Structure 1
Amino acid sequence: MENTMSAPQKGLLYYFNRITSNDGKDWFLTLTWIFVFEIISSIIEYYNLSIARTYVIDIQDGVFKEFLIAIFVTFFIWHFVYSIVNMHRNQFYFLIMYGLLGLYFYITKDMTFNLLFHNIINPFEFEFNGFGIYTIVQFTIKLIIIYLIFKMFQGFKYSKLKNS
C-alpha cells in the first residue's frame, strides 16, 4: 500500500493573499488594493445613497475641467506604456486603480475627489440604506479593507525586518 500525500489544497484566501499583499510582504501592493476597493465602494455608495451625492462638487465645463482630465489621461497613458515595457505586476495593479479612477470620474463627475477622500479617510464609516444587496456588498468590502489594513501592517513589519 502506497502512502501518497497530496499537496495541501490552496484555498481562496491563499490566492487572495498572493494577489493583494504578496503573502504579507508588500505593503505598497496592499495599499494599492485598499484604494481599489475604496474606489469601488465609493461608486456603489454614489449609486445607492443620496447623501453620497452631497459630497460631490460639480465643476462646470471649461478649461480647468479639461486640464484635469488631460493630466489624468496623460499620466494613465504614460504609466500604461511604462508598465508594458517593464512588465511589473505591481504596476499592472496600479493601472487597475487608474482605470477605476477613470470610471469613478465618469460615473460621479467628481473631479475634486471629495466623496473618495471622505471614504478613504474614514474607511469604517458605513451608511445603511435598509438591508439588501447594497448593505451586504458594502459590508463585505469593508471587511476586505480591514483585512488588507492588517496585511499592510504585516508588510511594514516584513520590510523593516528585511532592511535590518
Structure 2
Amino acid sequence: MNIRTTFDKITSNNSESWSLALFWIVIFEILATMIEYSFVHQSPDIMMHIPDGVYSEIIIGLIVTIYIWLCMYNLVFWDKTSILYLILFGFIGVYLITTHDFVFDLFIKNINIFRLIQSDTGINLIIQLFFKIIIFYLIYQLIKSLRTTKNL
C-alpha cells in the first residue's frame, strides 16, 4: 500500500464517505489555524476579544461536558461516529482554549486560500501551504464522494 491509498482510506474511505472527508477538512483547518496563531503570537485585528468571564466559562464548560459525555458514550457503545465526534470536540476545545477565539473569526479568516499571498514568508507560509494542499485534496475527495453518493 502506498501513502496516497492509505491517506484516502483514512480520510474519505476511498471517496465513499463525504462526511469523513468533511470531518478531516475541519480538523486540518483547525490545526492550521492553531499553528498560525502560535507563529503570530498576537491576536489579529479580525478577532473579537471576549474577556474571561461567564460567557467564556459557559462555552468551555459546555464543550467539556459534551466531550465527557461522548467519552462515556464511546466506552459503553464503542461507535465509530462517536469517536469522530469525540475527536472533533477535543480539537474544538483545544482551539478555543489556545486562541480564545470564541466566535471563530480567525478560523473563518484562515479558510481563505488567497490570504496566503498576503502572509509573510518563512516557515509559517510553508506550513500553511502544506495544510492548504492537503485541504484542497480533501475537498477534491469530498466532491468525488458526493458524486458517487448521488449516482447510487
> C-alpha separation between the residues in 1 aligned to 2:90 and 2:42?
25
- The count of residues paired between Structure 1 and Structure 2 equals 151
Greater helix proportion: 2
Letter in 2 for 1:59: I
Letter in 1 for 2:92: L
- For structure 1, which segment, 137-146 or 95-104, has the greater mean C-alpha deviation from structure 2 after superposition? 95-104
| Structure 1 residues 18 and 106: alpha-carbon distance in aligned structure 2, compared to 1, 3 A threshold | same
Taking structure 1 as the reference length, what is the TM-score of the superposition? 0.81
Letter in 2 for 1:147: Y
> C-alpha separation between the residues in 1 aligned to 2:2 and 2:34?
29
Q: CA RMSD in A?
A: 2.0
For residues 110-149 of structure 1, the aligned pairs below 5 Å read: 110-120=101-111, 122-126=112-116, 127-130=118-121, 132-149=122-139
Which of 93, 98, 104 does residue 107 from structure 1 map onto? 98
Which of 137, 140, 143 does residue 150 from structure 1 map onto? 140
Unaligned runs of 5+ in 1: 1-9
| Structure 1 residues 29 and 107: alpha-carbon distance in aligned structure 2, compared to 1, 3 A threshold | same
Letter in 2 for 1:26: S
Contact in 1 for aligned 2:50/2:56 (Cα 8 Å)? yes
Contact in 1 for aligned 2:119/2:125 (Cα 8 Å)? yes
**SS class of match (2:115):** coil
Deviations 1:10-63 (A, max 9, x none): 101111101100000000000000000100111111122368622322212222
For residues 4-23 of structure 1, the aligned pairs below 5 Å read: 10-23=1-14
Letter in 1 for 2:146: F
Unaligned runs of 5+ in 2: none
> C-alpha separation between the residues in 2 aligned to 1:83 and 1:154?
30
Larger CA Rg, structure 1 vs 2: 1
Cα drift, residue 124 of structure 1: 5.0
For residues 9-158 of structure 1, the aligned pairs below 5 Å read: 10-49=1-40, 53-120=44-111, 122-126=112-116, 127-130=118-121, 132-158=122-148
> C-alpha separation between the residues in 2 aligned to 1:136 and 1:61?
33
Contact in 2 for aligned 1:46/1:108 (Cα 8 Å)? yes
Cα drift, residue 102 of structure 1: 1.5
Identity, in percent, stands at 34
* Equivalence for 1:7: none
Taking structure 2 as the reference length, what is the TM-score of the superposition? 0.87
